A and B are shown apart, each in its own frame.
Chain A
Amino acid sequence: MKLKWKLLIAAVITLFIALNITLIFTSDKEINRVNYISKWTVANEQDLIETLPVAGMFMPKEEQFFYHDQDKGSFQGFLVEKGQAVESGTAVLEYSPENINETKSAFQMEIERLNQEVASLDQHISQMEKLLATSNTMPASSTGRSQQLQTPNDDSIIVQVEPFDSTAYIQQSIARDIENKELDKSKLESEIEKYEEMLTAADSSMIELTAESMISGTVKELKHTLENPILTIISNEKKIEGELTEDEVQQILPGMKVLVTFENSNKQIEGTIDTVSVYPEETPEVGKENSYLYTVQLSEPEDGTSVFGQHVNVKIVTNEVQGATTVPVKTIKHTDKKQVSYILGAGGYVERRQLDTGMKLDHTVEVQKGVEAGELVVLDRPLLIKSNHPFITPLSPTKNTKASYGDMSGMDIFKTISKGFLSR
């Protein structure tokens, strides 16, 4: 064949094929297409838990400090030893009552002295009263007499002279004296009252001679030098404490769940974040890394096999969705601000679904709307995937199991083969 003809034929053929290809993509009418899907997966239903791992340590939940209180008397001694277990209410410190006793004696003496004064006053008063009584029994004073007297003018006058009635005067002065003394007496009595009150106060402070522990725990340390705090008690109950970096602390809030695991065992305890410090542990400085304290309250009391200071791994749950429908991130196609996934649907057709997504964790993402758990999602998208068209899958001989063949009856097997035969 001449070259010219050959070239012409080649050109025509190429044009024809090109026309067909163009029509596939540009025709208004849907051209029958088939999607070749080689990899797909199932949308799962699972719990998504996002955690932040940090280090933590067991610390006592509470600490009680005791200080030396001078007002309580002088320090007598410790009633417990370092490391001793104590219960709530156990006496741990003792104060000596010496000071108080001295004070009390002083008060007593003062009261006695005052009492004595009152007594002497009483005596005086009763004497006065006796005198008063007897003055009334004194005979009446002599009658008055009249006398004739000459005045310088030589007039004669008759002067009636009444004798002075001293009884009344004496009575009055005695009464006055009694009054004064009564006044003094009541002053003294109120002073006595005062001292008696002080005495009862001293008495009651005698009762508070011991200091008691408010928590059950162990004595952590006592200072014989009496440097304050002189006694520290730590509770048996434990909490977990640790430090967070600047970045971490911004994500953590009180109330977040935590899962605590131990170095060498599978044990896991749950807890919640109790406090998160808003101020760094050490004075912040520019250029220095700051760390912030956090504490965890355990949900179940820990079984006592762990010790204070034991290091644990703490996983703080920063985000959690229960029963989320999840798909791998790879299955989602991002177009024009939309998120789209393709499902292998009923009838052998590929369906296009628009998704609303939620929480993302590693390579998995939560799907809030668009895909149900159990649906098959296309993982390896062919370049020209088209929805509402049938799909085909390649054979995966490795996924064949003898069991599935056993399940099929001989008739089924024959039927399937013939279907393949007839489909050409």
Chain B
Amino acid sequence: MSERVPLFRGLKQPQFVAYQLGKEEEVVGLWKPVVWLTLASIIIAGISAFFGIGSEYVSRSLPDLTRSGYEAYQTLFAAGQITWGLIWILLAIFIPSLFFWTILEVDYRKLLFVQLIISMIFLIEKLVFIPVHLFLGISAESNIFSLGIIAQTFTSIELIIFLLANITLFKVWAIILTYKYYRHLSERSPRFIIWTLIGFYLFVAVISSLLSYIKFENII
């Protein structure tokens, strides 16, 4: 295998890359992509925070603070958001691969390799969301790529809305792609792979929506 992890190619030609991966004995050169992805995540989080996406909590105090006080507040908040951007990508890379390593009998590094490619999808999702959010004036629950809007039309229960808003097209893409790779790598039945994948992502969605629901920013 070439030195670099073919992140983009991994997305566009999964068959090819998966096949190659399956043949490969050992996977090397994983750190560089981790660093790249981390940087990318920080940058994307920075752009997102710059536009104030997700800063509704801060906006609430605009009428009460001086302009410079408000800006200071928002800047610190943004710093927090960027820090999350750093942590999140690492979680997205290592946690799923760790989980599936315990289930499937596959080399951890290979799983990591796959996860790096999949993380790209999530980064793309975040990136695309920025202009959509700004131009359409929608918030995270009303993501047009998710079931969130549909959820809002038939229910007012926040938790359900959050949960369904977590189910996005990109996640579906991620599941399908991961499945393709895992099929090549693992001997487990395709059904097993699919169900564990869906289960895993559902579980993550539930946790995520719970966290959104609790609204920690109000508690601290």
* Chain B residues positioned under 8 Å from A424 (CB to CB): 54, 81, 84, 88, 211-212
Encoded as 1 (CB less than 8 Å from any A CB) or 0, chain B from 182 to 205 comes to 000000000000000000000000
Bound CA–CA A418/B59 (angstroms): 16
CB < 8 Å neighbour of B79 from A21, A346, A420: A420
Given contacts A391-B56, A423-B57, 15 further A-B contacts (CB under 8 A): A20-B146, A24-B136, A24-B138, A31-B142, A36-B137, A390-B59, A391-B59, A393-B62, A395-B50, A404-B69, A418-B80, A418-B216, A419-B77, A421-B80, A423-B55
A79 at the interface (CB under 8 A from B): no
Q: How far is the CA of A36 from the CA of B50 in the complex (A)?
A: 12
Kindly provide the distance from the CB of A278 to the nearest chain B CB, expressed in whole angstroms: 54
Is the CB of B149 closer than 8 A to any CB of chain A? yes
Q: Which stretch of A94-102, A205-213, A381-389 is in the interface?
A: A381-389
Q: Give B76-104 as 1s and 0s: 1 = Cβ < 8 Å from A's Cβ atoms.
A: 11111111100110000000000000000
Report which of A21, A386, A400 forms a contact with B75, defined as CB distance below 8 A: A400
Given the complex, which residues of B lie within 8 Å of A333, measured CB to CB?
none
Chain B's closest residue to A30 (CB) is B152
Chain A nearest CB from B173 CB (Å) reads 9
Q: Cβ of A28: which chain B residues have Cβ within 8 Å of it?
A: 153
Cβ–Cβ contact B77 & A417, under 8 A: yes
Q: Do B79 and A395 touch across chains, with their CB atoms under 8 A apart?
A: no
Q: A24-B136, A344-B62, A392-B59 are in contact. Are A417 and B80 (CB under 8 A)?
A: yes
A14 to B85 CA separation, bound complex (whole angstroms): 29
Interface on chain B toward A: helix, strand, loop, or mixed SS?
helix
Contact B60 A348 (CB under 8 A): yes
Which residues on B sit within 8 Å (CB–CB) of A408? 72, 76
Instruction: Tell whether, in the assembled complex, residue B68 and residue A401 are in contact, meaning their CB atoms are under 8 Å apart.
Output: yes
Q: Which 6 residue pairs are nearest across A and B when measured between Cβ atoms?
A: A420-B80, A348-B60, A420-B77, A392-B52, A421-B80, A404-B72
Q: Is B53 an interface residue (CB 8 A)?
A: yes
Give the CA-CA distance A395 to B62 in the complex, in Å.
13
Q: Kindly list chain B residues whose C-beta atoms are within 8 Å of the C-beta of A422.
A: 80, 84, 211, 216-217, 220
Q: What are 19 A-B contacts with C-beta separation under 8 Å?
A: A17-B169, A19-B150, A21-B136, A348-B57, A383-B135, A384-B136, A393-B52, A393-B74, A394-B51, A394-B52, A395-B50, A404-B66, A408-B76, A420-B82, A420-B83, A421-B83, A423-B57, A424-B81, A424-B84
Interface residues on A, range: 35 or more
Report the nearest A residue to B139, measured CB to CB. A34
> Which residues of chain B are near A29, meaning CB under 8 Å?
152-153, 156
B77 to chain A: which residues have CB within 8 Å?
416-417, 419-420, 423
Taking the closest CB of chain A, its distance from the CB of B90, in whole angstroms, is: 14
Q: Is the CB of B76 within 8 A of A413?
A: yes
Complex: how many Å from CA A420 to CA B82? 8
Residues in B lying within 8 Å of A, measured CB to CB: 49-57, 59-63, 66-69, 71-84, 87-88, 133-139, 141-142, 144-146, 149-150, 152-153, 156, 169, 211-212, 216-217, 220
Q: What's the Cα separation between A375 and B84 when bound, in Å?
A: 34
Q: Closest B-chain residue to A374, C-beta based?
A: B63
User: Which residues of A from 14 to 52 have beta carbons under 8 Å from B?
Assistant: 16-17, 19-21, 23-24, 27-29, 31-36
| Docked CA distance A17–B156 (Å) | 21
Selected contact of A34 from candidates B49, B84, B133, CB within 8 Å: B133
Cα distance A20–B63 in the bound complex, in angstroms: 33
Chain A contacts of B54 at CB under 8 A? 392, 423-424
In contact, A24 and B53 (Cβ under 8 angstroms): no
- CB contacts (< 8 Å) of A176 on chain B: these are none
Using known A-B contacts A23-B149, A348-B59, determine if residue A417 contacts B217 with beta carbons closer than 8 Å: no
Residues of A within 8 A of B145 (CB): 17, 20
Min Cβ gap A52→B in Å is 36
Q: Are A386 and B137 in contact (CB under 8 A)?
A: yes
Question: Quick check: B80 and A419 within 8 Å, CB to CB?
Answer: yes
Whose C-beta in chain B lies nearest to the C-beta of A34?
Answer: B139
Most buried by B among A21, A384, A417: A417
Q: Which chain A residues lie closer than 8 Å to B62 at the CB level?
A: 344, 348, 376, 393
The answer on a CB contact under 8 Å between A36 and B134 is: yes
Judged by a CB distance under 8 angstroms, whether A161 is at the interface is no
- The verdict on A423 contacting B81 (CB below 8 Å), with A23-B149, A27-B152, A418-B220 known, is yes
Name the CB-closest residue of B to A36.
B134
Cross-chain contact A400 with B72 (CB below 8 angstroms): yes
Tell me the nearest residue of chain B to A350, going by C-beta. B59
Chain B residues, CB < 8 A from A386 = 137
Q: Which partner residue on chain B sits nearest A13 by CB separation? A: B169
Known: A392-B52, A416-B80. A33 touches B137 (CB 8 A): yes
CB-defined contacts of A391 to chain B, threshold 8 Å = 56, 59
In residues 365-417 of chain A, which contact B (Cβ within 8 Å)?
A: 375-376, 382-386, 389-397, 399-401, 403-405, 407-408, 413, 415-417
